[in-house]
Structures are given as C-alpha cells and as structure tokens.
Structure 1
Amino acid sequence: MNNRLMWKRTSILAAAAGAALTFAHARPADACGVNGCDGGVPGPMPVNQDGENVLFVLNPGEVEVHIQISIDPDTNAQKFAWLIPIAQIPEFEVGSQPLFDALLQASVPQYGLTQTFEQCGEEGISAGLTSPNGGGTDSGGGSTGDAATTGATGGDPVLLKTTAGAFEIVVLQDKTVAPIKEWLLDNDFLWIDGADETFQQYLDAGQVIVALKLTGGADEGDVHPIVLRYPSDENCFPLRLTRFSSVQDMDIRVFLLANGRAAPTNYRHVLVNPLKIDWLNFAANYKEVIGKAVDELEADGLAFVTEYAGATSITAPFAFNVYSPNWNEAPFAGLAPEQVIERLNEQGLTNCYEPGFCFYNHPLVEGLLREYLPAPDGLSDEEFYGGLASYVDQIDAMKWGDGSGFATGLAERIITPGLHAQDLLDTFPYLTRMYTVISPNEMIADPTFHINPDLEDVDNVRVATNYNLCDGNSVVTLPDEREIFVPDAGPWPEFIGEMFWAEEISQIALKGKPMHLVNNTAAINTKIEAWNTRHGWPRNAASGTAGNDGGGESGCGCASDPAPNGAALLGLTGLGLLALRRRRRA
C-alpha cells in the first residue's frame, strides 16, 4: 500500500464535496453550491459525495468558510467540477486538511460501556472489569487575482480568473445562464445537467457563479480544502444545489469556531432519545438513530444534532501536524535536488530514511515531490524518495530547476495554510460540531447558524455503566443516570423500538434557552419505569429479587453491591478517560 493511501485510511474523515456560500436573506434564490461530473447525474461522481464537512469561522462582519473536498480515486480527477452561486466575489485560499483531521478526530462522539459486577455468593465476584472496546461514530494561499470589467451585460461573462493551490478558479456573471454555460464548456469546465433553472434564479438575484477545476496534471493526491472569505454577518451551508449530485442519507458535519456555542438558525435542533442508542454495541446504530430523529414531526428532515460543544483546546492532542515552526520553504530555493528529502526529514514533513520506506507527515507533500522531483521510470515513489542519494544520476534536473517552484508550492499549499489553521485554533476558544443525515428530497433550504451564549456545553464522550447481576441480567445506567433493565444482559431491549427517536426538538434563538417544540422526556421516563417494573427492577425490598418478566426468585442468593470497587474507565478512540463522571445530556 502506498503511503498516500495509508494516510487517507488512517485519517478519520468523512469525504467532502463541493459547497458554496451566499448571503442568507429570505429570498428563494439564495443558496450555496453544487459539484458535478461529466455528463451530469447519474454517472460516476469525481467527487466523493457520501458526506460533506464544512468549517465556519464566525468573525463579526466577515464569513470565512473552509470546505473539505475529496476526489473519488476510482474516477478521473480531471472531471471534477464545482459550481458555486455566491453574493459577491470572495477571496480564495488553500485550506488545511490536517485541520479537518484534528477537528474530526478530537470531537467525534464516543460511546463507552464500563462493566461492573454484583457480588454473588460467599466468595463474591470482584468488580471493575472494563470492556476493551469502544466506539466512535465516524465512518469517519492563493491570490484573488485581477477582476475583469465585463460580464454583467451579455458580453464576456468572466469577472475573475485565479488559482489557489491545485485549483483553477473563475468567477462569472451574466443576465442569463446560456453565456456562462457556454463559456465553461468551451474552456474545459463542466456544467451540472438539470441545474439551469436553479442557477438562473441566482443570476436574477444578482449572484455570481464561481467555478473550480483541478489544474492540469493535478490528481486526487493534490486535492486540498479550499477557503472562501467575504464580508457578511451571515453564513450559509450549501445544500439546495447539492441535491443534484448527492446520495440518500448523506452525512453533513458543520464545525464552527467562535467565542461561544453555535446553533442552527433556520433549522431545528434535536436531542436524540438515548434509549434508541445501542449502548451494548457502542452505538453501532448511531447514524440510523440520528437519521430517524431528525425526520420526526416538527424536525421534518431539516434539523441538526450537536455532537460536541466546548473548548477548542480539545483538538490539541490531534493537531500535531497542523503546523510546525520548523516548516520553512527558504532552504529549498537553490537546493541541490538530492538534498530535498534530507531537509524535509529535518523539518518533520517526511520520514524517508531507506529505499522502499517513505512516510509523508502532510497529505500534500507527496504531490509536491511528484510534481517537482518525480520518480524515474521503474522506481516507486517510496524507493526513489527513501533512497534519493542513490539515484542522483536519475533525477530530472529540468523538473526541479533551482528549487524555487517547490519552495513556493511548499509555502502556498502547506506552510501558510497550516499557520492560519493553527492561528484559528489558538484564537477562537469555542468549537461546535453539528451533524445531520439528509437526502436529496429534503435539501430544500440552506441552513444558517448563529452564536447563542446561553447554551450549555455538550460533551462528546458518553460512558454508560453495565451492572451485571448474579442472575445473568444486567442494568445499564446511562450518562444522564436513567437506569434500563436488560434481560439476559443483552441484546439492547427491543421495546425501545416503540419509543420516540427524538427526546426534544427545539428552535434556538439568539439568546436564552431552546424553545421546545416537542418534549418527550416525561413519556420516555414513563416507558422506562413501566419496563423496569415489569422486570422487577428496582428489586422488591422484601424479596430482594429481579428477574425475567416479573422478577421471580433468582436462586442466586445475591447481595447488591451499590458501589463496586475498581469501576475502571474506558479508553475510546484514542482518548483516555481519567475519571468517570456523570455528564449532562447532549
């Protein structure tokens, strides 16, 4: 396996697709963006459209959005297309993939189960065994250029041409779709079949169209997030046009860096019923639960759940390769090509020490090496870069030149984006992560977000306790302290299927507590009480028994140990827990 694929597989990321930004006024033409492929839909998608990850940086008077893009390696990357209606011409910059990796890994919801045991018989059973398994719920600097002066009057529709890293970018405007569509097709950009009428609505509202494609010679290994920045106090997540190229039940994750917790403005907010989660299998049914919860009445498919809300510092253990002060492009200008790997090793960007072994500590390093220092025919990248000094006579000196191109690329694609990403993590103290599952027929509105300083934090680590009884049954205490009797210690009770998927559905204003449109807490608690009572839990004080379907005599002679010793903690998805504590419900 080559190291680029190794890197992709070891990163926790949900593949992202094209997106866009616009002002979030209440007019139907406002929307965001869409990506597509040659020939439209259906057909093999160059963009992996199983999910989208977007980061908003909430600055007063300015919208900065980072959009993660992942090209499907089984398709032709040069067929990638991305079209974005937007209210005005933004600035474009290269984004940081390690930033998304850090956000995804640090804030992923994690479900754990601590095992404790009732003391049975004279010798007793020691408590404190802990399951070794845990589960997270994840699958998974450019320039602005010079604007043209024509385009809005039926002439040349081009307002701006520029590049940002691996992307060639053009901004167009006209009164009708036809000239824009014609220009894009004539210049090897792509159009999204079936979207003409929708794009015309944006043009009628004075929007411009941004189009992106990969520069010649770039492939999926060169793809990076893109950053758009423009003046506004409102933000918009791109969904309405995404329906032209999305899949059923698509994952949408929105990260927001700000000075307080963020919430959806025009979408509902959902608190899932925790009894729907399969705690015994570490939330293996998580996506199903979220999908059904956001489809409940009053949520109607237009809702988010909050997976994490709290200090941005949670990303620190995962941000080690976002940026390093050791990174420096200057040594590569004028450097002899056979010394390149040595310098990259010194800066921590690679670990290449012997032929056949070369590990890249940033996802774009290999692409830069292949562009300016390509491996000769007959040698793999790992063989060549791992033993570069042995292949001096096979180096393409024309490709390397004086090293200035490599130095510039290193600065624009890796160092500058990394420094900005680290600045964001250091500057904004609060991170919110929201998630939804949505299908094309539900993509009828572009969600916007705001800060509500009165909302509580939401922990992403949820640990329940499974108290194993002497008679083979168990009782699971959820993080919110509600107890569920589990016959025969599993599977998770099927009676939960009769209950609500959402515990609360709310509308969240700019200030104050959420306004509940639906609150099923009382009904859920009644169900829990009836279920537990039916199974003799809590134990009848006179008989001291709990059992199957009514709590018959267990025959175990058990004595409950309400505080078993050594109830150890569960390390989940790379995050070790130091103390078990009750947590607020998310």
Structure 2
Amino acid sequence: MHRTIFGITAAIAAAGTVALVAPAPAEACGGFFCNRQPIDQSGENIIYAAGDDGTMETHVQILYQGTAESFAWILPVPSVPELGVGTDVFFQQIRQATQPQFRTNSETTGECRTTPECPRDDDGWWGREDYDTAGPMASADAGAAPPSGEVEVLLEESVGPYDAVVLSSTDAMALFDWLTDNSYDIPEASVPLLMEYIENGNYFLALKLQQNRGTGEIQPVVLRYTELKPCLPIKLTSIATVPDMPITAYILGSRRARPNNYLATEPDLDDSSFWLRGASYADAVSRAVDDAGGQAFVTDFAGATPTMRIALADVEDLRETSDPGAFLMGLQERGFNGDSQLLGLLLRYIPPPTDAESNQFYNCIVNSWCDTYDAHLAGLSFDPGAFVDALNEAIVEPRQHAEDLTRLHPQLTRLFTTMSAEDMTLDPLFDLDEAVPEVSNIHEATRLTECAAEYFSFHAPVKFILPSGAEEVLQEGIAYMGSDDQYCEDREGGMYGPYVEDSTARATATRRGIVLGGGGGCNVSGSAGGLGLGLFLGLGILVGSRRRRR
C-alpha cells in the first residue's frame, strides 16, 4: 500500500508553491496518512504566480521521508492542469528574501568619560578596551462529467520522476475506492471532504514515483491552468494537522495581494524580546490570528519582487565529457551543489560501488588526486548525453523558469498565518489589489546609549526604542566620580568595571563620592573637578529613565 500525501495542497486554485513538511521520526512518511496512521503536517509554503490574463501556475514542494515504493500523493485541482516540475531552490530563496527580520541600530548621544589606561598586571592591561555596548542583535477543458458513480482518468503522463493521473468523479465513495484499489492509502474520514471538492467542480491529481526513481529525486510539482483568484484549500488538512500549523502564501503578480475572505491582522511586536531574546514571531502571529477569530493573515512582506539568482549555467557542452570525474567538476564549476536532487541523478547515471558511501565516492572522483575508484569507473557505461538531458529536465530548466517568474512579476506579497483543525472550515482566497500598501519584512529598533561626562560607556544609561516609539529601559546609569587612579584600583580589585555585577559597581560608585538617586552631597575627587553639574544631570537621567510609551 502506498503512503499517501493528501491535504491542503489538494485543492489549490491558483499558481503557487506548497511545502508539505513531515515530522522528523524515522517512521514518518512525509505525508498525512501512512499505513492508516495519521501523520501530522507541520507546515505549508505556497507560491502563486498570477498572470493578468487569468493564468495561474502552482509549484508544490513535497518533503518526504519513506521508501520510494511507498510514495503516493493526491492533490485536488480546479481544472485539468498542464504539468511540470519545479525546484526547491525557488522556495529557499523566496523565503530568505522575505523572512521577517529584527534589526537593532545602535546610537549614542553625548560623550562618555574616557576609560583610563591602567598599569599592566599579570593578566594584561587593565583599562581601555573595545567594549561592546551594542547589545544582542536578532538580526485545459476537462469535458463533461463522468457518469454517476464512476471515476474517469482525464490525463495520464510521466512528469519528471513521477507517474501522474488526473481523475474526475461525481461520487466521493467511488473515488475513494479507486484510490484504495490503486494503492493510495487514504482514510475513510476523507470521503465527506472529497465530496465537498467534487461538488465544487474540482478534479484530483495523483502522483507516484516511477519505478526506477528514488526519493532523492522528489521535486516540486508545477501546475499551470486558468484561474481568477489564488485559492488555498485547507479543509482536507484538518484531518491530520498540528495546532497552530504555520501556513505561508507567496503571491507573485503585477500588484500586491491581500486576503479576500479572511481578515487581515497584525501581530503585536511592541516588545524588545523580539530583538533581544529571540521571541517567537510565529507565536505572536498565532495570538493575533486567534484574537481575529482564527481565520486571518498577517502580511510579512509586500513590495517589489526581490532579485533572486536561481538559474544555473548551461550544461550542453558537457555532452561530450565522457570522464565522470571531469563531468562532475564541470557541474561544480557551473554552480551545482550536492543536494539530494543532484545526488538522486548521480546515483542513476554514475552509481557508486555497492560497498562505498555515496558522498565520499563523488567527492573522491571529482578530485583528480583520488584514484581509489578508477577500476569501478572504468567498468561503468557512462552516458554524458543522457545525463545532460536529465539535468536539463530536473534542474537547469526549472531553475531558469523560476528566475524568469521573479522577473515577469514585479510585485511579491508574503502572507502568513497559523491555523488549527477547528479553524480549517473555509478555503482562503486572495486578491491582487493596487491599493495594498508596501510592507517591509525588516523591523528596526534602536538601542540608545545616553553618554555624559560622569559615565563610562559600559555604565551609561541605555534604553531600547521600538518601532512604535515605545521605550524600554535596558540599563540604569551608574555614574562614577572617582579619579583615574581610583578607577584602576577599583577595577584591579574587582570592585568596578564593565564585567562587575551592578550591585558591586553601585556600591563602589557610592563609596567614591556619589549618593545614588540624587540625595546627599558629593565629595568629588580632584581629577573629577568640574563634573558636579554633569553628575546631577546624570542622576536626573538615572531617576527619570523609566519605561514610558509615547
């Protein structure tokens, strides 16, 4: 029985990319249902390329753990699509280009007291040093419907590593029986949801790996058809999902995009922990979506499509390169890396000895100094022309097409949400709308160090200014009025300095002539003369530097 990936991607009604992410345990199949046991779906990533002429293209990424024989995948589609294969690199680059980032800008007002140079001891020089005050940074027409109760195969072809069929039926139970009879292992609980999509006019794409293909050759599936709005079908996902499952939709088009039948919301980022302590952005989105009733999206990014270098150099000149090592070196020079997709092709066209570890084998033969496998290579029937054809189909052409899409569509929107099963009752639709404002994925805050003559830089007051204008005090100032000699004495004794506990440093500062909080008099040493006014100004900052919001 084939383990079947079956869910959200099953009814995408627009151009997009969907990533199906399986849990890590060894027994996980990467799909939603394995041997009648539900496998949780941990995330979805979708890229829609929406043309102004109503054409859509959907790239579906499949991350799978399991045997090649067990792989099977089902996807409801709005019409009979034109099929192709895509590239995982598209997903990687579009995610990196739009991922929310939290950046901290460091600023300083005034001038702090210069740190004295202290006499050398056994551990080196005390005193002047490069002390980091910047703090942490997080930086086709399907024709008539089949007769009632029957299943019709509308399309059957080979696509990349897959054997694909597109099915039509008016009876969900008949469709269920057909899939089960053809080794697609799906739960009977899916029948009512299948019927909903059938009643909505959907068809079903079903994929299996070809017999001579390994799981390393699994790659995104591309579907092209006519559709007016990007649609993200999630009802089927409710059968096997996790609470607050992350869903990211990337929409390429001539205009920016917004949710149509879901609310638009914003997470509360008015908290320095996103910049300073790596607080979870997804958790903040979950809270915002829950507050909006469970069906809402956050706009992570909306703006000009970033430049993405996805395409690789041409490989046609390698057709006559009969030496496997030279062929691999030629791929390396063209920017190919040893990912699982390339490895899957290598295993077919340049198989290693049965007792050799594949990565070690390929790393060896690409280096001219390694002759360990010369005898094995001499016995291989290497066909460089066939390998070039396979590389073009699986890697070169999909990567060129993905880069072309980013150039064809000037605007990109990234919409993000998290959803639990009880909220998956409505398939989200998206609109392209020129009124959608630009949204940056860069969130910048400021760490402000307020220097004055009575503060060394490491003990100056520091506050954190959030994008909203709200302020948080990160460090109360500790003014030090002792002389340079007294500073060196206190530092050598571990009583004052950048790495001394605040309580100890404050006690030492008090002993050197300061009454913290503005009370009492000051016994300022000679070398600190003329700093009295600065002292009281500093104490005013110390006392008044409390958290406030604008």
TM over 0.5: yes
Give the 3 Å change call, closer, same or farther, for CA 264–337 of structure 1 in structure 2: same
Deviates more, 1:450-459 or 1:280-289: 280-289
Question: What per-residue deviation string (whole Å, max 9, x for no partner) do you get for residues 143-181 of structure 1?
Answer: x9x999995454553222223222322111222133322
SS of the equivalent of 1:425 reads: helix
What is residue 48 of structure 2 aligned with on the other side? 56
Secondary structure in structure 2 of the residue aligned to 1:199: helix
Query: What does 1:277-426 align with in structure 2 at a 5 Å threshold?
Result: 278-281=273-276, 283-296=278-291, 299-313=292-306, 315-316=307-308, 319=309, 322-324=310-312, 326-329=313-316, 331-332=318-319, 335-337=322-324, 339-350=326-337, 360=338, 363-388=340-365, 390=371, 391-395=373-377, 400=381, 402-426=383-407
- Quote the offset at 1:283 in angstroms: 4.3
- Distance change in 2, residues 1:241/1:424 (3 Å): same
- Alignment correspondent of 1:581: none
Tell me if structure 2 keeps the 8 A contact 1:71–1:77: no
1:53 CA displacement: 0.7
Work out the CA distance in 1 between the residues paired with 2:435 and 2:394: 38
Moved over 6 A (4+): 124-128, 146-150
CA distance in 2 between counterparts of 1:554 and 1:377 reads 82
8 Å contact 1:253–1:433 — kept in the other structure?
A: yes
Which residue number corresponds to residue 110 of structure 1? 101
Give me the whole-angstrom Cα distance separating, in 1, the residues matched to 2:197 and 2:168. Answer: 10
Match among 154, 177, 189 for residue 182 of structure 1: 177
Q: Distance in 1 between matches of 2:346 and 2:110?
A: 62
Aligned positions, number? 444
Match of 2:59 among 66, 78, 99: 66
Contact 2:274 2:281 in 1 (8 A): no
Query: 2:256 corresponds to which residue?
Result: 261
| 8 Å CA contact 1:111, 1:463 repeated in 2 | yes
Which residue pairs with 2:463 in the alignment?
475
Amino acid in the other structure paired with 1:242: T
Aligned partner of 1:303: which letter? A
User: Given residue 99 of structure 1, which amino acid in structure 2 is its aligned partner?
Assistant: F
SS in 1 for 2:400: helix
User: In 1, Cα distance between the equivalents of 2:461 and 2:68?
Assistant: 54
**Shift of the alpha carbon at 1:279?**
3.8
Cα deviation for residue 394 of structure 1 reads 1.4
- Contact persistence 1:17–1:70 (CA under 8 A): no
Whole-angstrom CA distance in 1 between matches of 2:244 and 2:56: 28
Distance 1:283 1:374, change over 3 A: same
1:404-440, Cα deviation, whole Å (9 max, x unpaired): 4422221111111111111111121111111111111
Distance 1:175 1:89, change over 3 A: same
Distance verdict in 2 for CA 1:376–1:88, change over 3 Å: same
Q: CA deviation at 1:377?
A: 1.6
Q: Contact conserved, 2:85 with 2:398, CA < 8 A, in 1? A: yes
Secondary structure at the residue paired with 1:364? helix
Match in the other structure for 1:557: 535
1:229 equivalenced with 2:216 (yes/no) = no
Aligned equivalents of 1:33, 1:175: Cα separation in 2: 29
Q: CA deviation at 1:236?
A: 0.7
Q: What's the offset of the Cα at 1:205?
A: 3.5
Distance 1:423 1:216 in 2: 32
Q: Is the 8 A contact 2:48 2:250 kept in 1?
A: yes
**Alignment partners' CA distance in 1, 2:390 and 2:80:** 24
Q: CA RMSD in A?
A: 3.6
Alpha carbons of structure 1 residues 440 and 99: separation in structure 2 relative to 1, 3 Å: same
Q: What SS does the aligned partner of 1:294 have?
A: helix
Asked if structure 2 preserves the Cα contact closer than 8 Å seen for 1:118 and 1:127, the reply is no
Separation in 1, partners of 2:156, 2:402: 25
Q: Is the 8 A contact 2:272 2:472 kept in 1?
A: no
Tell me if 1:466 matches 2:432.
Answer: no
Larger helix percent: 2
CA separation of 1:126 and 1:338: change in aligned 2, threshold 3 A = closer
Unaligned runs of 5+ in 2: 1-5, 21-30, 116-127, 478-515, 521-533, 539-550
Instruction: Decide whether the 8 Å contact of 1:474 with 1:489 is kept in 2.
Output: yes
Cα pair 2:138 2:275 within 8 Å, conserved: no
Match for residue 412 of structure 2? 431
Max radius of gyration: which structure? Answer: 2
Deviation at 1:255, TM superposition (A): 0.6
Residue 135 of structure 1 corresponds to 138
**Out of 234, 239, 242, which is 1:239 matched to?**
234
Provide the rounded CA distance (Å) in 1 between the counterparts of 2:130 and 2:445.
15
